Amino acid sequence: MDRRQRLFVHRIGIDHGRMNFWRAIVLAALAATAPALLAGEIPPDARRSGYSFMGPDTRAMQDDDSSNPGMLFVLDGEALWTKKAGSAHKACADCHGDARSSMKGIAARYPAFDKALARPVTLDQRINLCRANHQQAAPLPYESRDVLALSAFVAHQSRGVAITAGDDPQLKPFVEQGRNLFMQREGQLNLACTNCHDDNFEKRLAGSPITQAQPTGYPLYRLEWQTLGSLERRLRSCMTGVRAQAYDYGAPELVALELYLMSRARGMPMETPAVRP
């Protein structure tokens, strides 16, 4: 490869030889570890939290609130809950009171249908809608510490509560949209979410366990990230991993995917903030 070719590869971010190498590695790993591909969706009674795939050290970190780094975000969210914001000079607590009672079970049903928008919204989006409509405050950026902290604090109040997302009949077409996206092959590696998380769970890829993608602990702390992150961040990371164009944060497709994943985890207990590798 001459200097101009190297410059071209650097600018567009594609090295076809390297891309084909990693594609071969991924496909070989999946093929070698799966006796039967395209096994289909996991039956409800066989669905397991990602916690069950973790090693003892990671489980211990999640189990002990004094060791769980995600709890630092929960504490930040608790402070934000009572902090007045916006031109209305109101705090979340002014409307919702004590989150330990008013928010118990709320995160377990998100994404939820919003009548005014006629579509589902995530918990992060609901927080920003409340800021706009009731606090007259600017929206918090996606993946910002404040929105993750508030989301983690609210979701933490549902820890141990069974997930009920997707029960609303108005959500049925959006759940189906999310399911179709989960089953759809994409990217230069031509892989779908189901190829890893339905067909090959309990195997390993690049040293990490492949889970069933049950989103019971979001927002969660990933050791790889060294911070808390949303389910949307994880989905975008997977899309990038298969060399697909990731949807923007808040895109209807990401909301539909999140809704489908939460609906298929129905009945499983919330764990926020979970800890994962």
Would you please indicate which residues are annotated as catalytic (active-site) residues?
238
- Cα distance from N-terminal residue to C-terminal residue, the chain: 37
Outline where 98-229 has alpha helix (H): 99-102, 123-130, 145-156, 172-183, 193-197
Q: Is 92 annotated as a binding residue?
A: yes
Q: Is 238 annotated as a binding residue?
A: yes
Q: Is 11 annotated as a binding residue?
A: no
Outline where the chain has alpha helix (H): 3-12, 16-33, 56-63, 70-81, 92-96, 99-102, 123-130, 145-156, 172-183, 193-197, 231-241, 252-264
Q: Is 95 annotated as a binding residue?
A: yes
User: What CA–CA distance (Å, rounded) separates 234 from 120?
Assistant: 19
Q: Is 196 annotated as a binding residue?
A: yes
User: What CA–CA distance (Å, rounded) separates 231 from 237?
Assistant: 10
**Which residues contribute to the annotated binding site?**
92, 95-96, 130, 193, 196-197, 234, 238
**Which residues contribute to the annotated binding site for substrate?**
234
**Which residues contribute to the annotated binding site for heme c?**
92, 95-96, 130, 193, 196-197, 238
